[in-house]
Structure 1
Amino acid sequence: MSEPTPKRELINPPHTQAFYDQYHFSQANRVGDIVWVSGQVGIDANAVPGDGITQQSYLAFQALRTVLEEAGATLADVVELMTFHTDLQADVKAFAKVKDEYFPDRYPAWSALGISQLSLPQLRVEIRAVAVVGSGRT
């Protein structure tokens, strides 16, 4: 007898409901122990982009952490990061420095892509992630 197929759970922290309603996407989807997180950008609680790559990186990682927690995961459970940069060559060192504060060891797989634009002209970085709940426990 086979096990039932896990159900898909939409993850949308309360403060992101407007994005769900207006743009028709979830901040994350969880199926079983796997969580796919939509791109998180460097905006504050008022949807205002941070000033520069460093501040935007901190805001995006804070948003990522919030979505993961809502899904029952932690940053330690992240197995893959994909980042999108509007000026990859100029920003990757500053971004990587912030990333290493959030992932000081047991680094996830990471792909960084240079792109021409993000959803707002002031945005410089967007972070996607895949996590496996509980995998980061040592």
Structure 2
Amino acid sequence: MQPAGPPRNVNPEELAPARGFSHATVAGDTVWIGGQVGSDASGKIVEPGDIVAQYARAIHNVAIALHAAGCAPEDTVKLTYYVTDMKAYRDNRGALGAAYREFFRTDYPASTLIEVRSLVDPAALIEIDAVAVRPK
């Protein structure tokens, strides 16, 4: 078995500039994706007030970070969702599921949904982080 080497941070250009964090960290075969919000490449939150649009962009951003770190969405073993409005999440589950399946199809990793008071950008309604295992 070869040593894994030091952790490596990955910050794809397609995502907003990482300031004070990394979009992904690779350590051995494990990839941690830092919290992704529904922002465009400039860092601007898309569609303020629309949890479905923000979710779609956030899960897209997770997929970008996964690919940059050498993974595909199906390599994901854990997703954590932080939402500022649980009722809005519940009320839009069908549309959120459709957005999820655009990137993750029917691969359902372990997941946790947590309601929080707010996120770092006041316009953000959802943040998603992930853990994946790189294929051999």
Scaled by the length of structure 1, the TM-score of the pair is 0.84
Identity %: 32
> Which runs of 5 or more residues in structure 1 are unaligned?
none
Q: Which of 34, 45, 48 is 1:49 aligned to?
A: 45
Residue 25 (structure 2) pairs with residue 25 (structure 1):
no
Report SS of the residue matched to 2:17. helix
| Partner residue in 2 for 1:8 | 7
Secondary structure of the residue aligned to 2:127 is strand
**Matching of residue 35 in structure 1 with residue 31 in structure 2:** yes
Change (3 A) 1:99 1:7: same
Return the alpha-carbon distance in structure 1 between the equivalents of residues 105 and 99 of structure 2. 10
Secondary structure at 1:122's aligned position in 2? Answer: coil
Of 65-74 and 41-50, deviating more is 41-50
Equivalent residue for 1:86, pick from 84, 87, 91: 84
Q: Which amino acid aligns with 2:45?
A: P
Which protein is richer in helix relative to its size?
1
Following the alignment from structure 1 to structure 2, what is the Cα–Cα distance between the partners of residues 18 and 45? 8
Amino acid at match of 1:26: S
> Is residue 119 of structure 1 aligned with residue 115 of structure 2?
no
Question: Residue 76 of structure 1: SS of its match in structure 2?
Answer: helix
